[in-house]
Amino acid sequence: MELDLTALFLARLQFAFTVSFHFIFPSFSIGLASYLAVLEALWLRTKKPIYLDLFRYWLKIFAITFAMGVVSGIVMSYQFGTNWSVFSDKAGGVLGPLMAYEVLTAFFLEAGFLGVMLFGMRKVGPGLHFAATLMVAIGTLISAFWILSANSWMHTPTGYELTPDGRFVPGPSWWTIIFNPSFPYRLIHTVIASYLTTALVVGAVGAWHLLRDSTNAHARKMFSMAMWMAALVAPVQIFVGDQHGLNTHEHQPAKLMALEGHYQSYPDGAPLYLFGIPNDREQRLDYALGIPKVGSLLLEHDLNAPMAGLDTVPDEDQPPAFIIFWSFRIMVGIGFLMLGLGLWSLIARVRRRLYDWRGLHRAALIMGPSGFVAVIAGWVTTEVGRQPFTVYGLLRTADSVSPLAAPAVATSLLAFVIVYFAVFGVGTWYILRLMAQAPHAHEDEPGDSERAPLRTAGITPGPTQNPQRGGEPLPDGPEEAR
């Protein structure tokens, strides 16, 4: 790829940078919101304080993650207009309503109940507070639903009509637009990815504290919960990912050819390449190392099935193969490592060594950030694989960009890079600092900073007068009833 700093290239770079950075936060907060809802539900059901402690421990981390997700997300919602105005004009009639529904059904729900979730336990009592937590968790999932529907439509557009001047307008059925062919696969794959990402982070934090003190009950609990998630969901994710791949094979064949490194057609069975250096210019895979016919087996379930290659796709319609060949392999490789970690934890459970097998804990610690790497790699695979189109096969990226001068885009890109690394770098540092503190009994709420004004007893419902509990004293004394 030539590095020529046109406004188009800079705009693509800016979108890729801001969306990749942004995606880190929701991929963590979607999973974490659900985890918090589970913890609070377990606390309400069992009344065991350990769940409330874990809830509060992760709530502080959630607050920072969510704030960073919000502020980096607003950038995305405006960037369609600032940098991709022609795309917005042409596809706005179809995609705009999906995004508007995301705001109406998800963003307001999350934001409206977030305040109560973070600061309202003492004001509304445990029952309503749990309802607020649940609303935030559901909001994150609804948000994923709409934005992935919109994104999937750009990959597999259906249900539209084209005006004479090349604008997409909705056809008679919104159902056909929303549930476009790749959407169900992408939604399930992405939500599970976010659950796995969260499980690996929680697991790594648990492992870190187990390595320091293997008797820490809180660390044990979070490590165990996270490893269950990894063990149960990693295999499901590999299966769903495979189904998603088959869907791509059907609807976006060029993307699949490029990520498999299939430059040529294979009339009697395509290999599965494990290694290679894609060379778009020469249209061949250099240093290729592959297993014959397994590619056809995986994608067509037949060793000898013929498979077309990029030689059947005009050069100007091909995605850049090098990037997605490797991003795909990184994602899949990490997926299998997660599966391995999950299996290891099962073995440790059977041998009753889950909490003192230091090798397992070290492995879980190293795997902590791997979910983010896999998520970004997967995102790169699907988005770069859509190139050179914004709406697959119909609207070219080059024809989507705003009429902006290159210096304007270069300046904004530079500003985003500096601000994101500085601000979100610091935020990540704060999160790591919170994670470094061992989880313990009587965990603070996010607001209970040591410097904050002391609570006044007057308005705090005591354990016996709590409205949600009908006068029944809460477990562990007044500390838990705050």
Partner 1 sequence: MINYDLTTIWALIIAFAVFMYVVMDGFDLGIGILFPTFAKGQERSQAMNAIAPVWDGNETWLVLGGGGLLAAFPLAYAVILPATYPLIIAMLLGLIFRGVAFEFRWRDPRHEALWDFAFFAGSLIAAFSQGMILGAILQGIAVEGRSYAGGWLDWLSPYTLLTGAGVTVGYTLLGSTFLAMKLTGDAEAHAYRLAVRAGIATLLLMVAVSLATPLLLGRYWDRWFDWPQILFTSQVPLLTAITAFALYRAVKKKRRYRPFVLSLLLFLLGMIGLGVSIWPYVVPDSITIWDAAAPERSQSFMLVGTLVIMPIILAYTGWAYWVFRGKVADEGYH
**Cβ 108 to partner 1 shortest distance, Å:** 5
**Cβ 120 to partner 1 shortest distance, Å:** 6
Distance CA 418, CA 422 (A): 6
Distance CA 211, CA 209 (A): 5
Yes or no: say if 238 and 336 are a contact pair by the CB < 8 Å rule: yes
State which residue, 99 or 240, has the beta carbon closest to partner 1: 99
State which residue, 289 or 415, has the beta carbon closest to partner 1: 415
Both structure tokens of 197: 């990402």
Q: Which stretch binds partner 1 (CB under 8 A): 237-245, 386-394, 424-432, 466-474?
A: 424-432
**Which residues sit opposite 285 in a β-bridge?**
278
Within 136-195, the residues that bind partner 1 by CB under 8 A are 165, 169-172, 174
**Cβ 197 to partner 1 shortest distance, Å:** 21
**Cβ 423 to partner 1 shortest distance, Å:** 6
467 binds partner 1 (CB under 8 A): no
Both structure tokens of 149: 């529907």
414 binds partner 1 (CB under 8 A): no
Within 92-111, the residues that bind partner 1 by CB under 8 A are 92-97, 99-105, 107-111
Within 48-87, the residues that bind partner 1 by CB under 8 A are 63-64, 67-68, 70-75, 77-78, 80-83, 85-86
- Which residue in the set 164, 350, 451, 470 belongs to the binding site for partner 1 (CB under 8 A)? 451
**Cβ 255 to partner 1 shortest distance, Å:** 26
Distance CA 35, CA 38 (A): 5
473 binds partner 1 (CB under 8 A): no
R_g of the chain computed on alpha carbons: 25
Yes or no: say if 147 and 186 are a contact pair by the CB < 8 Å rule: no
Q: Tell me, what DSSP letter sits at residue 290?
A: E
366 binds partner 1 (CB under 8 A): no
How many residues line the site for partner 1 (CB under 8 A)?
Answer: 86
Distance CA 455, CA 43 (A): 23
Q: Which of 64, 80, 90, 109 is nearest to 14 (CA)?
A: 80
Strands 395-396 and 389-391: antiparallel
Q: Which stretch binds partner 1 (CB under 8 A): 194-202, 220-228, 323-331, 441-449?
A: 441-449
350 binds partner 1 (CB under 8 A): no
Cβ neighbors of 305 (< 8 A, separation 6 or more) are: 269, 270, 296, 299
6 binds partner 1 (CB under 8 A): no
481 binds partner 1 (CB under 8 A): no
**Cβ 447 to partner 1 shortest distance, Å:** 4
State which residue, 175 or 287, has the beta carbon closest to partner 1: 175
Q: Which stretch binds partner 1 (CB under 8 A): 51-59, 115-123, 224-232, 286-294?
A: 115-123
Report cis status (omega within 30 of 0) of the bond before 461. Answer: no
Q: Which stretch binds partner 1 (CB under 8 A): 200-208, 367-375, 406-414, 463-471?
A: 406-414
**Cβ 430 to partner 1 shortest distance, Å:** 4
Yes or no: say if 293 and 273 are a contact pair by the CB < 8 Å rule: no
Distance CA 209, CA 216 (A): 7
Yes or no: say if 338 and 367 are a contact pair by the CB < 8 Å rule: yes
Within 284-313, the residues that bind partner 1 by CB under 8 A are none
**Cβ 123 to partner 1 shortest distance, Å:** 5
Within 188-217, the residues that bind partner 1 by CB under 8 A are none
Both structure tokens of 397: 């990226």
**Cβ 152 to partner 1 shortest distance, Å:** 18
Distance CA 261, CA 283 (A): 10
- Which residue in the set 340, 427, 461, 478 belongs to the binding site for partner 1 (CB under 8 A)? 427
State which residue, 127 or 171, has the beta carbon closest to partner 1: 171
- Which residue in the set 40, 53, 445, 480 belongs to the binding site for partner 1 (CB under 8 A)? 445
Both structure tokens of 360: 């397992």
Strands 160-162 and 168-170: antiparallel
State which residue, 21 or 273, has the beta carbon closest to partner 1: 21
Within 384-403, the residues that bind partner 1 by CB under 8 A are 402-403
**Cβ 12 to partner 1 shortest distance, Å:** 16
Q: Label residues 254-277 b or e (16+ Cβ within 10 Å = b).
A: bbbbbbbbbbbebeebbbbbeebe
Q: Which of 190, 184, 196, 191 is nearest to 336 (CA)?
A: 196
**Cβ 52 to partner 1 shortest distance, Å:** 17
Strands 284-291 and 389-391: unpaired
